[in-house]
Structure 1
Amino acid sequence: DNSMVTNQVKTGAALKIPIAHGEGRFYADEATLADMKANDQILFRYCDANGNVDAAHNPNGSLENIAGVTNKGRNVFGMMPHPERAADPNLANEDGKALFESILAGVSA
């Protein structure tokens, strides 16, 4: 992927990243969502362990299971899951580490 936060993440990979929010979810009007899709600005979606996106794996009712987005320049992003809670072998989950490696690779390039 060519975004600052996902360049070290395998396309289509299902990452196990904790969530810790009781409220809040992604929403956009139809035109904005269409524009974001056309510009490939949707970075992450809530899914099952096999990468299947469905309502059962959408913890907060986010529009189209969207968990993370980027701007058109692909240098600013926002996401609801917490990759910092999945970036250390002592936490028994390093799936979030690739996001930080992506950022480091991007700023040091």
Structure 2
Amino acid sequence: MNKDRKEELIGCFEGIDDNAKMIIYPLIDNVVFIEQQLDDLKKLPFVNINPKNSMQQKPTTASKMFKELNQQYNNSIKILISVLLKTGEDDTSPLRDFMSIIKEKYAND
């Protein structure tokens, strides 16, 4: 597991209460794991091409796994961001302001 990335993410949640940390920290472990898996999958081909007919192409298992892991990753990040935004309602920082703008912008997607 990438300890630097894990510490970076944990640092974002230093201000939350201990009960929330018990829930967030395992999620952070999962996020770091999924990031590593996605990086590994990016090195693999995503399309199999029929050597006899290049117009016939099939997605590989790696592309399917990437899609599923990427969805899990995005959902986990959304949870982490929502916790971060809720715990920091009293505090205002440029990052929280920016994340609020992004959240509002993509809320309809």
User: TM-score w.r.t. structure 2 length?
Assistant: 0.33
Q: Where is the helix percentage greater, Structure 1 or Structure 2?
A: 2
Q: Where is the strand percentage greater, Structure 1 or Structure 2?
A: 1
User: TM-score w.r.t. structure 1 length?
Assistant: 0.33
Of structures 1 and 2, the one scoring higher in RCO (CA 8 A, sep 6+) is: 1
Higher radius of gyration, 1 or 2: 2
